[in-house]
Structure 1
């Protein structure tokens, strides 16, 4: 696939590419934050709103002056991808670009995952895999804007929303892997779930099951001990009875047979 002239990979540590190369001439982290925010807005945004978003502690006059300077530098870096009038600023969606957040979000929301009861179709499973490949980690992982309290609040809300969608997607992928005996795929998806929420006991139970069926009994037992220690030290509680029951079955090797797709007639 030919790379898009502008590509914003914002899931995980942010990476911005222009013509296939890292965009290194952005003048500051604030300029990067401005480009990210504009790319995720469907409509133009007023200069006053942007000034408050990025310089929450400054006076409006100071913030607007800062915005004018940042916009000038940003337009030198990305050209017509950023459009500005005296009142508003917008991301130019008429130019070719790739934005992993949109690709991930739109696909996960479109797929029938919320009330999934039947196995995923091959087409749905492929679309899910493609969407989840975009999720390298939390939205703007490791990125912080010291003066932009408004930007940080916006990013935190979007980060949590995307995390919930990722949880939904990886949960469906684990179920699909269990149903089809794809244990390595299921292990990877379970580990992603636990990275999103280390206290997710259902994900731990599924991971222990998958590890055992993949021949990694000792690793499955260690997962339980890791969870038990985490819950005790952080929350002062023990694992749920259902989790303890899976642990006992792993330890005793008295596990139900693997789930396999029903043979076709």
Structure 2
């Protein structure tokens, strides 16, 4: 049985041997193995088109066949082409499904196994999928279009797996695991709003209201800088619920962030043109909030005010 790993650097485990790097006989043989593991049966023309980025050489068929021959010998030094794990199909090649297991296929199977299940039943396969995806896909192929596309596809799937895992962990009362998973997901995709919602919810469940408020402000800043948009209504509602909760925000830094965020939210929903209406107008309230935030930021030794005041 051949175990082919595509997360991280390409490597193969078989018969007590482990092949990686130069063991495959060159870059092109290694890429052929990765493509067959990713895409299954591939015709020679399609495989050549992928290998040479749409511009295969005139003699690409013979060259491709020589690369496959090299790869077969490296995978099975004492084997024959007829019984190779790389099967010759009409006009192309495929891996022998009865003799090959790949980590990407296992990753996909684990996600499918978790879909639609309760938190208790979904967590084990999701955790296993997250462990498989510890490294980015195909790290030795930074530029090939097919590798970039596959890496992005599995990065998105991994983000979804981590967020689903975090949601289930939160449902089962494990705010610490949920927070760790969300943080790892947001490092991969800082624009994932669902991740920010879960980060806020995890901090809230852990009793850290200040961190939850800071997370909203960080999310708002990142979305504005990268996309020019505001957080979703769901995120804003969670933020407002946190502001309404009793008790201090949890420190000067948290209070400043919360007050500035509150001013921003008020400016979004209010009429800032009514500046001349004096105390009680939206503009007046925004100015008061920003002034309070500035005072707190400049005087960290002052008593902390509730962010809801």
TM-score by length of 1: 0.73
Q: 1:17 aligns with which of 3, 9, 12?
A: 12
What is the correspondence of 1:14-163 to structure 2 with a 5 Å cutoff?
Answer: 14-18=9-13, 19=16, 21-24=18-21, 25-43=23-41, 45-55=42-52, 56-61=54-59, 63-79=60-76, 80-84=84-88, 87-95=91-99, 97-113=100-116, 119-120=118-119, 122-141=120-139, 143-146=141-144, 152-153=145-146, 155-163=147-155
TM-superposition CA deviations, 1:4-36 (whole Å, max 9, x none)? x6332223x234133363523123332222101
Partner Cα separation in structure 1 for residue 181 and residue 190 of structure 2: 13
**Residues 237 and 125 of structure 1: CA distance in aligned 2, closer, same or farther (over 3 Å):** closer
Partner Cα separation in structure 2 for residue 217 and residue 165 of structure 1: 30
Partner of 2:217, secondary structure, is: helix
**Residues 193 and 99 of structure 1: CA distance in aligned 2, closer, same or farther (over 3 Å):** same
TM-score by length of 2: 0.64
Gaps in structure 2 of 5+ consecutive residues: 77-83, 248-309
Which has a greater percent of helix? Answer: 2
1:173–1:189 CA contact under 8 A, matched in 2: yes
Flag the structure with more relative contact order, 1 or 2, with Cα contacts below 8 A and sequence separation at least 6.
1
Greater C-alpha Rg: 2
Partner Cα separation in structure 1 for residue 199 and residue 140 of structure 2: 27
**Residues 57 and 159 of structure 1: CA distance in aligned 2, closer, same or farther (over 3 Å):** same
Q: What stretches of structure 1 move > 6 A for 4+ residues in a row? A: none
**Count of matched residue pairs:** 236
Gaps in structure 1 of 5+ consecutive residues: 147-151, 256-265
TM-superposition CA deviations, 1:103-141 (whole Å, max 9, x none)? 11123224433xx7xx43x33332332233222254335
TM-superposition CA deviations, 1:140-181 (whole Å, max 9, x none)? 3562355xxxxx24x455445444543443333222112211
